[in-house]
Amino acid sequence: MSKTAPRSDSKEYLAKKERLARQLTIYGRKPVLEALQMPSVQCSKLHLAESNKRDGIINEICQLAEQQGIEIAWHDRQGLSRISKNGKQDQGVAADLELATYRPIREFNLESVAPGTRLLALDGIHNPQNLGMIIRSAAASNIAGVILPRKGCAALSPLVIKASAGTLFKAPIFHCESLTEALPALKDNGMAIYGLSSHAKTSLFQPLSDKPAVFVLGNETEGVSRDVSKLCTDMLAIPMANGVESLNVAVTAALLAFAGQFQQG
């Protein structure tokens, strides 16, 4: 491997950037083991800390990697922390996954968006349980994907993978730096941007137009953030009985993800 950094406009650099944007690095013994056990999940590299004891689960991980011809890289604890970005919880194990369903939002094909296409966008979903549940519902529904910003949302940690019941590896996820960066391009290409808000006057249950749309789910306490609200074409509320003020955000996400199927009957 060359030790010289490639020039930022070189083919090599762009190819690497492209590859990294489609790569998801997960960590933790159980999540990595489970990913290696799923035939549909492509792992390009396994990272292990030299300090790992060769116990049951580490042996199992190594065996699976060898069977599948996956490159194994050994690191000191610090080196592994740099890769997992969570030295406290990586348990000495990380894996680079290449998932056909995990892509940067710029790869969302705006030119051929069919009527009725729906995306969910997550704004400040910090709770790993909720994030995992949202991913699970999105994977099971017919929606086109979940827009997941790196800023302000929980990282794709073992807790998220567990709450997703392993569906993180097949859910259509479009990652981005922030929603304020990602949403304008979608809006410019004719998509409606709906923010969910308990104060909104328009009901989610009113039949919406067939226009392709992004539904933005905000933080449970604070709702959709101010900057993202400004980008919304309209705000929608779920009408609630008994004076209930809000639903769990993962429940709201599921209602949005499956709304199309209910409305088609």
* Chain contacts with its own copies (rule: CB under 8 A): 129, 133, 136-137, 139-142, 165, 167, 170-171, 205-207, 238-244, 246-248, 250-251, 254-255, 258-259, 261-265
Tell me how far, at minimum, the Cβ of 160 lies from its own copies, in Å.
13
Of 12, 13, 38, 14, nearest in space to 26 by CA: 38
CA gap 159, 69 in Å, rounded: 28
Tell me how far, at minimum, the Cβ of 34 lies from its own copies, in Å.
14
Amino acid at position 6, single letter: P
Nearer to its own copies, 60 or 98 (CB): 98
Tell me how far, at minimum, the Cβ of 66 lies from its own copies, in Å.
27
* C-alpha dihedral, 228 to 230 to 232 to 234, nearest 10°: 130
Nearer to its own copies, 33 or 247 (CB): 247
Contacts with 156 (C-beta within 8 Å, 6 or more apart), sequence order: 24, 26, 131, 168
Sheet holding 23-27, edge to edge: 23-27, 93-98, 42-49, 71-75
Tell me how far, at minimum, the Cβ of 208 lies from its own copies, in Å.
10
Tell me how far, at minimum, the Cβ of 142 lies from its own copies, in Å.
6
Nearer to its own copies, 37 or 261 (CB): 261
Nearer to its own copies, 115 or 243 (CB): 243
Nearer to its own copies, 4 or 264 (CB): 264
Tell the residue number behind the tokens 């980008």, with chain if given: 231
Tell me how far, at minimum, the Cβ of 261 lies from its own copies, in Å.
5
Nearer to its own copies, 114 or 241 (CB): 241
Q: Looking at residue 110, what DSSP letter applies?
A: G
Amino acid at position 147, single letter: I
Q: Which helix (H) or strand (E) holds 192?
A: strand 192-196
Give me the helices (H) in the chain, please. 11-21, 29-37, 56-67, 77-84, 128-140, 158-163, 179-188, 226-231, 249-264
Of 125, 129, 122, nearest in space to 163 by CA: 129
CA dist 114 to 58, 101, 118, 213, 245, Å? 46, 19, 9, 10, 34
Nearer to its own copies, 143 or 156 (CB): 143
Tell me how far, at minimum, the Cβ of 137 lies from its own copies, in Å.
5
